[in-house]
């Protein structure tokens, strides 16, 4: 079930149903894109109409943030649950046997650690050249060729938000098959190179605070900028209720 909040059609379903919907995308004859949208991406989308259009065109948008699910529940969607990119990636790898996985993004060091965890599973890895302005057409075609030859079921994208959301949707449009998923920090967590917030912190919607403390230089400005903006957007949604 989809429900529109912040002008974005989120999946308003329990985690089990979301997992099944994403799994069923493998049966489609075309490529699909799955985004895990948190408060930061919501705020960025309200400031960037092109990003908002892109989010609207994704196959599935999952609420990856407890504050988003709080707003949805207050608006009557009692069954909706947060399902983060890191959690979904781990669930798919562990439970969908016989599937092929391609990991694109992050650094060679991180990918090496993930490869060590993927022993016995069908997986390939690619750390693209860093680019603030986006990949060149030559590089994009190279990536499509590498991925196409491996023929994965799931293409996990870890390029940082909102770059990875743009990338996953656009690359899915240029592909013939496969599920493209923008999963953010999932690479760092799954590799074991960065700690994740304890479950009780996640439960109360404070994972951002844990990440702020552990990576203040990289994430401090983001949270100081987007958190107040998201609170304002959330209040607006609830008033419109």
pLDDT digits (tens, 9 = 90+) for 24-59: 999 998 999 999 999 999 999 999 999 999 999 999
Percent of the chain with pLDDT over 70: 100
DSSP string computed for the chain: -EEEETTEEEE-S-HHHHHHHHHHGGGSSS-EEEEEE-HHHHHHHHH-HHHHHHHHHSSEEEE-SHHHHHHHHHTT-TT-----HHHHHHHHHHHSTT-EEEEEES-HHHHHHHHHHTTTSEEEEE-PPP-SS---HHHHHHHHHHHHHH--SEEEEES-TTHHHHHHHHHHHT-SS-EEEE-TTHHHHHHTSS----HHHHHTT-HHHHHHHHSHHHHHHHHHHHHHHHHHHHHHHHHH-
Q: Which domain holds residue 77?
A: 2-240
Residue pLDDT tens, the chain, 241 long = 899 999 999 999 999 999 999 999 999 989 999 999 999 999 999 999 999 999 999 999 999 989 999 999 999 999 999 999 999 999 999 999 999 999 999 999 999 999 999 999 999 999 999 877 789 999 999 999 999 999 999 999 999 999 999 999 999 999 999 999 999 899 999 999 999 988 888 888 888 878 878 887 888 787 888 899 999 999 999 997 6
Q: What is the pTM of this model?
A: 0.95
Q: How many structural domains comprise the chain?
A: 1
Q: What pLDDT sits at residue 134? A: 86
Q: What pLDDT sits at residue 241? A: 63
């Amino acid at each position: 079930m989809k429900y529109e909040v912040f002008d974005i059609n989120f999946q308003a379903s329990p985690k089990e149903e979301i997992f099944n919907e994403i799994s069923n995308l493998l049966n489609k004859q075309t490529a699909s894109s799955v985004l895990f949208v948190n408060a930061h991406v919501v705020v960025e989308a309200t400031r960037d109409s092109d990003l908002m259009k892109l989010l609207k065109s994704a196959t599935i948008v999952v609420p990856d943030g407890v504050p988003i699910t709080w707003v949805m529940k207050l608006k009557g969607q009692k069954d909706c649950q947060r399902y983060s990119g890191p959690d979904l990636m781990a669930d798919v790898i562990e439970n969908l046997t016989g599937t092929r996985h391609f990991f694109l993004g992050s650094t060679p060091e991180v990918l090496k650690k993930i490869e060590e965890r993927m022993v016995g599973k069908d997986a390939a890895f690619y750390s693209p050249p860093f680019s603030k302005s986006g990949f060149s057409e030559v590089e994009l075609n190279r990536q499509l060729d590498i991925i196409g030859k491996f023929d994965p079921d799931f293409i996990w994208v870890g390029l940082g938000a909102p770059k990875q959301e743009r990338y996953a949707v656009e690359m899915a449009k240029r592909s013939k098959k496969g599920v493209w998923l923008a999963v953010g920090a999932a690479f760092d967590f799954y590799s074991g190179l960065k700690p994740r917030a304890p479950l009780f912190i996640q439960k109360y919607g404070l994972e951002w605070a844990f990440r702020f403390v552990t990576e203040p230089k990289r994430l401090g400005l983001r949270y100081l900028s987007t958190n107040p903006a998201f609170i304002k957007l959330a209040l607006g949604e609830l008033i419109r209720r």
